[in-house]
Amino acid sequence: MQQELSPYLDWFTQYVARYAQPDSTEQQYIDLKHDHTLRVFENAGLIVATLPLDSVTARVALLGALFHDVGRFEQYRVYKTYSDRNSVNHGLLGCRILGQEQVLQGEPESIRKAVRATVAMHNKFALPIGLPEVVRVASNIVRDSDKLDIFPVLVSNFTRDGSKSDVVTLGLEEGKTQYTSVILHNVLHGKPVKYADMQYVNDFKLLLASWVFNLEYRTSMELLSERGAMEQLLDTLPALSEMDEVKRVVRAEMYRVLTSDVETKG
């Protein structure tokens, strides 16, 4: 049974309150990450509940989920953007903030270190080889939980009429049918797509579609499928034959994972 996590939830709420913005549009960007964090924490709880984990790993995963984006608020305050490319690595910033704020003082050192490492790892392109097992598993849980939540948020950005925000679309070019070929190629071959290769909004859609290959746990795929956001995303792709191929590949991968016998993918 998990030791009470509510003091950490309270700390988080108070921490975010420090970043209150006088301008209501700017406040929305703060709220976006606050609400996102709570949903990621909830997703992590759902995934943790389906896995046979020891109590330390489960605790690191849940605390890692709660604090994964703690760096976002300082990032926004200083740089007014959530683009790491145009500012700082928010995972590393969050890891540093947890140390400065001494939030995890009540935890054993091993948990403190593992939570901070999980926060630092959550937004890495790929996890490095040789991570301690607790950090590796917790990071995978947080990464899946994060993707599951940010996914519908980003998709709704493409399905909403007209209004779009470059804080969320990372300042990409609109170009109705334009896309970057290396990104299409990687999606079709189940390879990871790099943020740095993105040029158009369609590239961002393709990057999101490629996440079907990046979820670690079958429970994550079940949640993605139940919530229907992948189909919503596929609906927003331009009417081009190569995009029909993307849809086919993405649906086949979902089906493969959902019908497999093992809990972990790949």
Question: What is the binding site for Fe ion (CB under 5 A)?
Answer: 69, 123
Minimum distance, C-beta of residue 226 to Fe ion, in the bound complex (Å): 23
The CA distances from residue 65 to 133, 185, 224, 233, in Å, are 17, 32, 18, 25
Closest CB to Fe ion among 69 and 216? Answer: 69
Q: Cβ of residue 45: shortest distance to Fe ion, in angstroms? A: 18
Per the structure block, which two tokens stand in for 237? 């792709």
Nearer Cβ to Fe ion, position 143 or 265? Answer: 143
75 or 219, CB closer to Fe ion?
75
Instruction: Say if CB 141 and CB 217 are below 8 A apart.
Output: yes
Say how far apart CA 57 and CA 137 lie, in whole Å. 7
Contact predicate 70/12, CB 8 Å: yes
> Rounded to the nearest whole angstrom, what is the least distance from the CB of residue 29 to Fe ion in the complex?
14
What is the closest distance, in whole angstroms, from the C-beta atom of residue 90 to Fe ion in the complex?
6
User: How many CB atoms are closer than 10 A to CB 152?
Assistant: 18
- Closest CB to Fe ion: residue number: 69
Ramachandran sector of residue 130 (left: φ over 0; alpha: ψ -120 to 50; beta: rest): left
Q: How far is the CB of 178 from Fe ion (least distance, A)?
A: 27
